[in-house]
Amino acid sequence: MKLEPLADRVILKMVEAEETTKSGIILTTSAQEKPQIAEVLAVGPGGLVDGKEVKMVVSVGDKVIIGKYAGTEVKMDGEECLVVRQSDILALVK
């Protein structure tokens, strides 16, 4: 199955959290923070959303930063994805 986002929605795959700190300390799963960096898997067409024209500025393959509690988690073919509105994306990672 393939997800195709509608309107201003974007499908993301979260980047794995760091398992060790910069000083080399290994973190347990419960001590790791929820990752906020994700990779864009699919982008909706944009268009008219809530009476306003929305132009999509993210592209497939971009790395982005999102809010900790943004979006809706979806599991497709054993892979966890996140569906968010473009406005939930805080920044592009260059």
Cα 18 to chain centroid distance, Å, stands at 17
- Distance spanning both ends of the chain, measured CA to CA: 30
Residue 41 domain-assigned (yes or no): yes
Q: CA–CA separation, 63 vs 8, rounded Å?
A: 17
- For 65, residues 6+ apart whose C-beta sits below 8 A from its C-beta are 36, 37, 38, 89, 90, 91, 92, 93
> What tens digit of pLDDT does each residue of 1-44 get?
789 999 999 999 998 755 566 676 665 555 445 668 999 999 99
What amino acid occupies position 40?
V
Domain presence at residue 65: yes
What CATH number is attached to the domain comprising 32?
2.30.33.40
Give the per-residue pLDDT at 22: 67
Average pLDDT in the chain: 86
Domain, as residue range, for 30: 9-93
Q: What is the pLDDT of residue 34?
A: 60
Its pTM stands at 0.79
| Residue 47 lies inside a defined structural domain of this protein | yes
